[in-house]
Amino acid sequence: MKQEENKYHFKSISQLLRDLRLPAPSHPLIALVDYSKVQTENLRNGAKVSLDFYKVSFKNEFRGQVKYGQGYYDFEEGGLAFLKPKQVVFTPDTTESYEGYVLYFHPDFIRNYPLGKTINQYGFFSYSVSEALFLSAKEKDIVQNVFNSIGLEIETNIDQYSQDVLVSQIELLLNYSNRYYNRQFITRKVVNHEIINRLDSLIDEYISNDQGLVNGLPSVQFISEQLNVSQRYLSDMLRSLTGYNTQQYIQNKILEYSKDLLSSTSLSISEIAYKLGFEHPQSFSKLFKAKTQQSPLAFRQKFN
C-alpha cells in the first residue's frame, strides 16, 4: 500500500484486507467482504483511495452519497456501485455508509477469459459522475443470490474449476447490472429528459452566440463537461432514449440548424459552414449530403 497525505493506493486485495484487519483472501485475486464483519474502528474517514483492481459494492438499504471522482454516487434505498482500477473513491465520513457487500477482483483474474476483453464495454465502470444503480426488491434478491453464490464458491476449496466458475458468476452479475442500467435509463426518463433539454439549450446557445466561428464544432467533451456528466454516461443515456450516441446527436442538431439557415437566410454555404463550426465548407457539404441524400445547395433551391 502506498500512503501519502491521507491518500491510499492499494496494489493488491491482500493489502487492502490486511489494512482492514480482515483475514487474508482465500484467493489472492478475488475477495468478497461483508461489511457487517468489519470493525468500524478499522475504517478511516474522508481518505482518498484508489485500487489496482475492480470493486462492485452492493448496498441493500443505505441512503445517502459516497464521493466518487469529481462527483458522488447517490444511493436511494441501496443499489450497486462500480469502480475500475485507478479510479478514486473517498471513504465515507460516517460508518453507516459501510453497509452491504463488496466484491473485489483483480484484472489478472479475468485476463485470460473473454470477460477480460469485454469488461470495458460495461459503461457503468467508466462514469466519472454517476448515480448508483437503483434496484427493485426483486432485482435486489437476484443480485443478493449472485453475491451469495460467489461467496460460497470463494469459500469452497480451490480446484481446477474454481476460476472458471467465479469468472462466469462475475459475468452474470455484470450482465444483470447491464440490464438494470438500461431499465434505469428508461424508468428515470424525467431526469434524463431534463439532461436532454439542457443539452439542446446548450447547443442552441453555442450556435446563436457564434461560438462555432471561434471554437469549431461543439465537442462531446465540451458538452459533457457543461452538463456535469461523463461522456460515457451521456452517450449511453442518449443511445437508450434516442438511438443516437452523443456525437450523432450533436451532428443531427447541427444539421437541423443548417436547414434553417439554408431555407431562411441569404448566407452562403461557406458562411453557414463556418458559423456552425466546420473547419472546411467541404466537410459540411459532405456530412449534409450523407445525412440528407442531397447537397446543401439542392436543399436550398427547393425554397427559392
- Distance of alpha carbon 19 from alpha carbon 298, whole angstroms: 69
Exposed/middle/buried for residue 295 (C-beta within 10 Å: 0-12, 13-18, 19+):
middle
Per-residue pLDDT band at 70 (split at 50, 70, 90): very low
Contact 121, 178 (CB under 8 A): no
Per-residue pLDDT band at 157 (split at 50, 70, 90): confident
pLDDT in tens, 83-115: 888 877 777 666 566 678 999 999 999 999 999
Task: Give the least confident one: 171-180, 225-234, 283-292.
Answer: 225-234
The CA radius of gyration of the chain, in Å to the nearest whole number, is 24
Q: What confidence score (pLDDT) does residue 186 get?
A: 65
Domains of the chain: 2-187 (2.60.120), 190-301 (1.10.10.60)
Q: Is the dihedral of CA 184, 186, 189, 195 positive or negative?
A: positive
Tell whether the model's pLDDT for residue 71 goes beyond 60. Answer: no
Question: Nearest 5°: phi and psi at 67?
Answer: -70, 135
- Distance of alpha carbon 193 from alpha carbon 95, whole angstroms: 35
**Arithmetic mean of pLDDT, 45-71:** 71
Q: What confidence score (pLDDT) does residue 236 get?
A: 86
Q: Kindly state the cell numbers that stand for 103.
A: 466484491
Residue identified by cell 452523443 is 246
- Distance of alpha carbon 225 from alpha carbon 143, whole angstroms: 32
pTM exceeding the 0.75 threshold for the entire prediction:
no
Mean pLDDT estimate for the chain: 84
Q: Kindly state the cell numbers that stand for 52.
A: 489496482
Q: Kindly state the cell numbers that stand for 248.
A: 450523432
Q: What confidence score (pLDDT) does residue 29 get?
A: 95
- Distance of alpha carbon 224 from alpha carbon 201, whole angstroms: 13
| Strongest mean pLDDT among 38-52, 70-84, 127-141, 288-302 | 288-302
pLDDT: which is higher, 190 or 12: 12
Kindly report the CA angle at 122 between 228 and 63, in degrees rounded to 5? Answer: 60
pLDDT: which is higher, 147 or 187: 147
How far does CA 299 lie from the centroid of its chain?
39
Longest Cα separation, the chain? 80
Q: Kindly state the cell numbers that stand for 209.
A: 452566440
Q: What confidence score (pLDDT) does residue 217 get?
A: 94
Residue among 166, 160, 155 at smallest CA distance from 34 = 155
Q: What confidence score (pLDDT) does residue 150 get?
A: 96
Report the Cα–Cα distance between both ends of the chain, in Å, rounded.
71
Question: Nearest 5°: phi and psi at 189?
Answer: -60, -35
Q: What confidence score (pLDDT) does residue 275 get?
A: 93
| Strongest mean pLDDT among 2-6, 167-171, 188-192, 297-301 | 167-171
**Arithmetic mean of pLDDT, 184-209:** 79
